[in-house]
Amino acid sequence: MSDLPPLATLAARIGTTLRERGQTVAVTESSAGGLVSAALLAIPGASAFFLGGAVVYTRRAGRALLGLTPADVAGMRGETEPYAALVATRIRTQLRATWGLAESGAAGPSASPYGDVPGRVCVAVIGAEACTRTVETGEGDRALNMDLFARQLLKLFDEVLHAPDAAR
């Protein structure tokens, strides 16, 4: 995981790209606890591209902040790629953003209520492209995993934004 750039570096690159393209982003986080939103908001001029974010840590928060219904999540659990894609799509739609980002994971130090090992996160980027990824850090340190989860989500978003056919 040491090959991941710092949050500030990833956020600056993403912010520049979004501004240049006139695109926007909305974020929903779980285990990263707002670190993705904070990194993007730390970029001067973030209001040009950042529309908002939510920390959706519980089903109750999902209902209140994203309007998720039992039917929306039937047969689905958090900490999966389908769930991350669902909430990324929901925040994107609600805020009318070009891109929706989401992460859902088990930061540790113990396993999640769903049985996922500490250090497992699912990230999603939804927009002109849709991409999900599952990463296992192999770490049990909660604060470290929160940072790594945030960097994994921004890294995936950066990859999607800078893919050869992504300059839209």
The pLDDT tens digits for 89-146 are 999 999 999 999 999 999 999 998 888 999 999 999 999 999 999 999 999 999 999 9
Query: pLDDT above 90 covers what percent of the chain?
Result: 89
Provide mean pLDDT across the span 51-71.
Answer: 95
Nearest of 163, 161, 156, 9 to residue 84 by alpha carbon: 156
Q: What are the backbone angles phi and psi of residue 124, rounded to the nearest 5°?
A: -140, 140
Query: pLDDT above 70 covers what percent of the chain?
Result: 97
Instruction: Give the pLDDT of residue 2.
Output: 62
**Residue whose tokens read 């908002």:** 52
Question: What is the Cα Rg of the chain in Å?
Answer: 15
Q: What is the mean pLDDT of the chain?
A: 95
User: pTM for the complete prediction?
Assistant: 0.95
- For residues 29 and 53, the answer to whether their CB atoms sit within 8 Å is yes
Contacts of 105 (CB under 8 A, 6+ apart): 30, 31, 32, 79, 112, 116, 119, 120, 121, 122, 145, 149
Per CATH, the architecture of 7-159 is what? Alpha-Beta Complex (3.90)
Instruction: Give the pLDDT of residue 164.
Output: 84
